Chain A
Amino acid sequence: MAVLEVSDLRTSFRTDDGVVKAVDGVSFSVERGKTLGIVGESGCGKSVTCLSIMGLNNRQNTISSGEARFNGENLLEMSSRKLRTLRGNEIAMIFQDPMTSLNPVHTIGRQLVEAVMLHRDVTKRDARLRALELLKAVGIPRADRRIDDYPHQFSGGMRQRVMIAMALINEPDLLLADEPTTALDVTTQAQILSLMTSLQEEFETAIIMITHDLGVVAEIADDVVVMYAGKVAEEGTVDEIFTRPYHPYTWGLLGSLPRLDADLDRLVQIQGSPPSLLNPPRGCRFHPRCPYVMNVCRSVVPELLPVSHSPQHLQACHLDEETKDQEVQKLLEGTLAEAS
């Protein structure tokens, strides 16, 4: 049962240089108790997608359209007041940099209590007890003493745990996590990911995990959305995307990874760099960098269509399935053609 259903989400920013189409027609859904990984490189629109869902973009210069149905209601058309009752309550978000995401002049106890009191009609004392409960749940040692400490007295990993505590304190149905482990050491990342999965099991929270790290996606996601230049290139279950990817960009991404479990002499390079979203390329946005580009790609935007043998798996590419199967084979063998 879907907690969140996003259809044709579009978000543009008015800037001095023109209109930037950061998100241009993105659709996906997230189920209860499952994790959706949104993966892509910088500038692909993955963060903006989540900020749009939460309504956290700067109202003055943002235009959003489309649907984001949470428990039936469209978040994008909701009043700010209604949206605020959901934020931090039924939908929560954690961000990338734990150093700057907490207010440096308030104790973490106060910030946690604030999160509770905004949405629950309880006394400060009860809110504080609840905060303690969560701090223990996320593994902060000596929580009863640390609750009155300031953010700068915690390490990066601990701060991220505090953020998670703050996000989960009102038992949300949906948690949006924007690159929560990118700024952390790899062993700390392992701790945080392990924490998130165990909390998910306990509370049945749906998680949307944004990251650029395909390894992280493979570890914790059930479903994956691959984004490129504001659009969805491919989406499907994590097994499908990693064992039978059907988009040249995904091939490029997977092939360009140095990995522990394979011996590659040369990594696959995707030539060029991500496009400007002010003036995105016509037709398929990936075409200037695609080694399989055909004439149709330069003018016609490929639709997101299901793969024939697997209707949950969608991809937006003009290339025919036969060629794709062949290329996937090559990818798995490590002999994929280089893009350069």
Chain B
Amino acid sequence: MVLFLAVTVVTYVIFYVTPSDPARLAAGQGATPEDVQRVAERLHLDEPVWEQYGRFLWQLVGEQSLGESFVNRQDVNDIVLRAAPVTGALVFGGAIFWLTLSIPIGIISALRPRSLIDRAGMVFVLIGLSAHPVWIGLIFAYFIGYKLELTPITGYADFFNPSQEHGGPVQWAYHMILPWSTFAILFAALYVRLIRANVMETMNEDFVRTARAKGAPESQVIRSHVLRNSMLPIVTILGMDIALALGGAIFTESIYSLPGLGRQVLQSYENFDLPVIQGIVVFSTLCIIVFNLIVDLLYAVVDPRIRLT
């Protein structure tokens, strides 16, 4: 609750500190000063900041509404809810992608340090960490999308409502492959390194030695003793990363023209569309809070030491 209030207040303050004139922008080009004044009144921009903030909170709590966009008077709720699933698909799909990629590589690298696989994995990590997602996105879009024509370059296909000529699950996935890969590479690189380090460290733990001393075959040692213990820290970090990513996978959405929250934020920012920005901030904060909760609960499930306290 405190976090929530803090975040929204900060957004408001920042907004009002930056020099801008949303009323004029909203009124459009060629508006007369009177038009601007009228717009300003309409959007309550002529009121003192704290009144506007109060109005915002009242609206939120009482009407569950995030207000209306300065730019096109659309319901912010709608805007956010339309964009959220796109970002959601990107992030969650990307998360599955990067986990499927990083877990095996991380584990194998740890089990066979300095082998060819391990070294290849490390090169991959280096590239993943150093290359900017935008650059990767462009490269991917160019080679795989354009040159090889394996996947569409941009655009989003709605999962549930097939519209126009593309839609439905297959098309959806098809369109998402590139964005997922781009989004995931950075995280995959981080996770490979993390998993590798964790697994290697766990392998040296005393209880692993005990398991071997009992005569367990190596596969059982790994499966039963090493994996679960080395994955514990991953759970916490995963929760945090997803929460952050939801806030705006900005770069990836821009490259691939995916109508998600990230792109929305960029647009709204350019237009000084406060309600939308505020709406997205509210939504993201909510997500982070919820996710942290889920992670905490998950951690208690996975690690019995946490359960009893």
A and B touch in the complex (CB under 8 A): yes
Q: Is the interface of A mostly helix, strand, loop or mixed?
A: loop
Are A105 and B228 closer than 8 Å at their CB atoms?
yes
- CB atoms of A103 and B225 under 8 A apart: yes
Residues of A within 8 A of B215 (CB): 84-89, 118-119
How close is A262's CB to chain B, nearest CB, in angstroms? 37
Quick one: which of A87, A92, A102, A153 contacts B212, CB cutoff 8 A? A87
Least Cβ–Cβ distance between B127 and chain A, in angstroms: 28
With A114-B224, A150-B304, A150-B305 already in contact, the answer to whether A102 and B216 are too (CB < 8 A) is no
Check if B213 sits within 8 Å of A84, measured CB to CB: no
- On chain B, the residues within 8 Å of A101 by CB distance are 206-207, 209-210
A242 located at the interface, meaning its Cβ lies under 8 Å from any Cβ of chain B in the complex: no
State whether the Cβ of A152 lies closer than 8 Å to any Cβ in chain B.
yes
Within 8 A of B (CB), among A4-58: 54, 56
Measured between alpha carbons, how far is A118 from B210 in the docked complex, in Å?
A: 13
**A93, A104, A166, most chain B CB atoms within 10 A:** A104
Known A114-B216, A150-B304; contact A105-B229, beta-carbon cutoff 8 A: yes
Q: What is the distance, in angstroms, from B202's C-beta to the closest C-beta of chain A?
A: 10
Q: How far is the CA of A119 from the CA of B213 in the complex (A)?
A: 12
A103: chain B residues within 8 A (beta carbon)? 207, 210-211, 225, 229
Distance between A325 CB and nearest chain B CB, rounded to angstroms:
43
With an 8 A cutoff between CB atoms, is A95 at the interface? yes
Q: Which residues of the partner chain A approach B211 to less than 8 Å between Cβ atoms?
A: 103, 114
Select which of A56, A114, A119 is within 8 A of B209 by beta carbon: A56
**Chain A hits for B217, CB < 8 A:** 84
What is the distance, in angstroms, from B214's C-beta to the closest C-beta of chain A? 4
B214→A87 contact, CB < 8 A: yes
Q: Is the CB of B209 within 8 A of A95?
A: yes
Q: Does A240 lie at the interface of the complex (its beta carbon under 8 Å from any beta carbon of B)?
A: no
- The residues of B that contact A153 with a CB separation of less than 8 Å are 308
Instruction: For the complex, give the distance between the alpha carbons of A41 and B35 in Å.
Output: 90
Per the CB 8 Å criterion, the residue count for chain A at the interface is: 29
Interface residues of A in 258-316 (CB under 8 A from B): none
8 A Cβ contacts from A84-132 to B: 84-89, 92-93, 95, 97, 100-107, 114-115, 118-119
Report Cα–Cα, A338/B245, bound state, in Å.
Answer: 69
Q: Which of A92, A97, A107 contacts B213 (CB 8 A)?
A: A92
Most buried by B among A105, A115, A166: A105
- Residues in B with CB closer than 8 Å to A89 are 215
CA–CA, A93 to B206, complex, Å?
Answer: 12
Q: Give min CB distance, B249 to chain A, whole Å.
A: 33
* Chain B interface, DSSP helix/strand/loop, else mixed: helix
Closest Cβ of chain B to A274, distance in Å, is 24
Residues of B within 8 A of A119 (CB): 215
- Which A residues are in CB contact (< 8 Å) with B207? 100-104
A84, closest chain B residue (CB): B215
Is B205 interfacial (CB 8 A cutoff)?
yes
Bound CA span A150–B228, Å: 15
| Interfacial chain A residues near B225, Cβ < 8 Å | 103, 106
On whether the beta carbons of B305 and A88 are closer than 8 Å, the reply is: no
User: Cβ of B216 and Cβ of A104 under 8 Å apart?
Assistant: no
A56 touches B205 (CB 8 A): no
| Cα distance A118–B214 in the bound complex, in angstroms | 8
Complex CA gap A115/B216 in Å reads 8
CA distance A88 to B302 in the complex (A): 28
Contact partners of B228 in chain A: CB under 8 A:
105
When C-beta atoms are compared, the residue in chain A nearest to B112 turns out to be A60
B230 to chain A, nearest CB (A): 11
**Given A104-B305, A105-B229, A150-B304, does the pair A97, B216 have CB atoms closer than 8 Å?**
no
With contact pairs A86-B215, A88-B215, A118-B215 given, residues A104 and B304 touching in the complex (Cβ less than 8 Å): yes
Distance, CA A166 to CA B303, complexed state (A): 22
User: Which of A54, A88, A97, A107 has the most chain B CB atoms inside 10 A of its CB?
Assistant: A88
CA distance A114 to B217 in the complex (A): 12
Q: How far is the CA of A103 from the CA of B208 in the complex (A)?
A: 8
Q: What's the minimum C-beta distance from A14 to chain B, rounded to whole angstroms?
A: 13
CB-based nearest B residue for A163: B210
Bound Cα distance from A89 to B213, whole angstroms = 9
Pairwise interchain contact A56-B212, C-beta atoms closer than 8 A: yes
A294–chain B nearest beta-carbon distance, Å: 42
A100 near B205: Cβ-Cβ < 8 Å: yes
Closest Cβ of chain A: how far from B236's Cβ, in Å? 15
What is the minimal beta-carbon distance from B298 to any residue of chain A, in angstroms?
Answer: 14
Nearest chain B residue, comparing its CB with the CB of A55? B212
Interface string of B290-309 (1 = CB under 8 A from A): 00000000000011110010
Known pairs A104-B304, A105-B303, A152-B305; A88 contacts B214 (CB<8 A): yes
Q: Give me 4 other A-B pairs in contact (C-beta within 8 A), A84-B215, A87-B212, A95-B213 excluded.
A: A88-B213, A88-B215, A95-B210, A104-B305
Point out residues on B near A: beta carbons under 8 Å: 205-207, 209-217, 224-225, 228-229, 232, 302-305, 308
| A-B residue pairs, 8 tightest by C-beta | A88-B214, A88-B215, A87-B215, A100-B206, A103-B207, A101-B206, A93-B213, A84-B215
Residues of A in contact with B (beta carbons under 8 Å apart): 54, 56, 84-89, 92-93, 95, 97, 100-107, 114-115, 118-119, 150, 152-153, 163, 166
